[in-house]
């Protein structure tokens, strides 16, 4: 059975409200995704998965439910307008039901747990950047206080990076191998390994490299405008940080593409080696 769900904040900002349906006619409302009456083998399609609801979606996964989220939210509006439906939660769900499955990404527990950690890491990173900007404009009296806060934020950022790397090592079988091949497995490369953990979380290196390149926004030069080309800015920033650490300089797009291609090659090599050792026939391999 397929459940289509719209996840949105309550008007009083006290939490989230989930509206769902299986047939597009009868709609129900709940406050917790874990309350969706789905069982093993059922599929739950959602427009978004707020980080705050991570535990609830993990509960669904542990019941054997497949969870998918929409990779491009703008498709809901486009499809709703094409269908001539009014703007409402129910209309959005009806629009979701007509969107092809290829626009939904299936998630697992590894992705949700890693995303939660990475989200916190980015929040600390933004706070540190804001403090550094304030420091530049602060009076001499306030500068020392701001410097202490910047140092504290940097320390917290480093500690969380260590947690992210350890989780990545535990959840991604090829993490240590790729880090070692890239030359970032030793001391002094913690932030580079954190960037690698983000890439392995958000980028599906099982896909052909052309799709990986497009997901990262590594578009080849063409006469066509790049305005409408969508890509993951989050993953691209991680790739930029990792490449900068590898070449010790500001990277060009060619440098970033070379880094992504190296990771893709290593990932595919280890995947194929594992499949051969397990005796998995070539036609079953994901490509």
Q: Within this chain, do residues 189 and 252 fall inside the same structural domain, yes or no?
A: yes
Residues 17, 117, single domain; the answer is: no
Instruction: Indicate the residue among 55, 75, 107 that finishes a domain.
Output: 107
pLDDT of residue 227: 53
User: How far apart are the C-alpha atoms of 239 and 176, rounded to whole Å?
Assistant: 17
Task: Give the C-alpha separation, 99 to 23, whole Å.
Answer: 15
Same domain, 263 and 231: yes
Angle at CA of residue 166, ends 210 and 257, nearest 5°: 20
- Angstrom distance (rounded) from CA 270 to CA 200: 14
Find the angle CA(93)-CA(70)-CA(74) to the nearest 5 degrees. 75
Domain of 77: which CATH number? 3.30.420
Domain that holds residue 223: 174-287
Are 9 and 48 within 8 A, CB to CB? Answer: no
Q: Encode the chain in three state secondary structure.
A: CEEEEEEEECCCCCCEEEEEECCCCCCEEECCHHHCCCCCCCEEEECCCCHHHHHHHHHHHHCCCEEEEECCCHHHHHHHHHCCCCCCHHHHHHHHHHCCHHHEEEECHHHHHHHHHHHHHHHHHHHHHHHHHHHHHCCHHHHHHHHHHHHHHHHHHHHHHHHHHHHHHHHCCCHHHHHHHHCCCCCCCHHHHHHHHHHHHHCCCCCCHHHHHHHCCCCCCCCCCCCCCCCCHHHHHHHHHHHHHHHCCCCCHHHHHHHHHHHHHHHHHHHHHHHHHHCCCHHHCCC
195/95 same-domain check: no
Closest-CA residue to 67 (of 18, 12, 140, 17) = 18
Residues 163 and 242 in one domain: no
**Domain's final residue, options 107, 130, 148:** 107
The residue among 62, 87, 107 that closes a domain is: 107
Verify that 182 and 287 share a domain, yes or no. Answer: yes
Close Cβ partners of 190 (under 8 Å, ≥ 6 residues apart) = 158, 161, 162, 165
* Residue 181 shares a structural domain with residue 223: yes
Reported pTM: 0.87
Task: Provide the domain count of the chain.
Answer: 3
179 and 265 fall within a common domain: yes
287, 218: one domain: yes
The reply to whether 65 and 126 lie within a common domain is no
Phi, psi of 120 (to 5 degrees): -65, -40
Instruction: Please tell me whether residues 32 and 66 are part of one structural domain.
Output: yes
Integer-rounded Cα radius of gyration of the chain = 22
Q: Which residue has the tokens 């490449």?
A: 243
Do strands 66-70 and 28-30 pair parallel, antiparallel, or not at all (unpaired)?
Answer: unpaired
287 plus 178 within the same structural domain: yes
> What is the number of alpha carbons within 13 Å of residue 54 lying toward its C-beta?
15
pLDDT in tens, the chain (287 residues): 999 999 999 888 888 999 999 999 999 999 999 999 999 999 999 999 999 999 999 999 999 999 999 999 999 999 999 999 999 999 999 999 999 999 999 999 999 999 999 999 999 999 999 999 999 988 888 999 999 999 999 999 999 999 999 999 999 999 999 999 999 998 889 999 999 999 999 999 999 999 999 999 998 765 454 555 678 899 999 999 999 999 988 999 999 999 999 999 999 988 877 666 655 554 443 33
pLDDT tens, residue by residue, 180-224: 999 999 888 999 999 999 999 999 999 999 999 999 999 876 545
Closest to 46 in 3D by CA, of 88, 15, 8, 87: 8
């Amino acid at each position: 059975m397929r459940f289509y769900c719209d996840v949105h904040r309550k008007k009083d900002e006290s939490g989230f409200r989930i509206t769902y349906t299986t047939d597009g006619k009868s709609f129900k409302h709940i406050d917790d995704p874990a309350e969706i009456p789905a069982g093993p083998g059922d599929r739950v399609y959602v427009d978004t998965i707020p980080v705050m609801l991570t535990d609830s979606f993990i509960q669904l996964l542990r019941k054997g439910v497949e969870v998918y989220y929409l990779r491009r939210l703008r498709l809901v509006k486009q499809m709703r307008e094409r269908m001539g439906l009014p703007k409402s939660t129910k209309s959005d769900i009806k629009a979701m039901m007509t969107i092809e499955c290829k626009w939904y990404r299936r998630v697992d527990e590894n992705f949700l747990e890693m995303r939660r950690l990475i989200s916190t890491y980015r929040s600390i990173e933004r706070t540190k950047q804001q403090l550094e900007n304030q420091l530049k404009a602060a009076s001499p009296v306030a500068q020392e206080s701001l410097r202490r806060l910047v140092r504290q934020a940097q320390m917290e950022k480093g500690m969380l990076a260590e947690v992210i790397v350890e989780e990545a090592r535990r959840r991604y079988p090829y993490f240590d191998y790729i880090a070692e091949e890239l030359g970032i497995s030793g001391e002094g490369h913690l932030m580079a390994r954190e960037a690698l953990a983000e890439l392995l979380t958000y980028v599906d290196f099982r896909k052909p490299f052309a799709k990986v390149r497009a997901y990262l926004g590594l578009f080849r030069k063409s006469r066509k405008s790049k305005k409408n080309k969508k890509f993951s800015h989050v993953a691209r920033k991680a790739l930029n940080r990792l490449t900068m650490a590898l070449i010790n300089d500001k990277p060009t797009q060619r440098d970033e593409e070379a880094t992504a291609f190296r990771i893709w090659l290593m990932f595919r090599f280890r995947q194929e080696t594992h499949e051969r050792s397990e005796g998995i026939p070539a036609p079953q391999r994901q490509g």
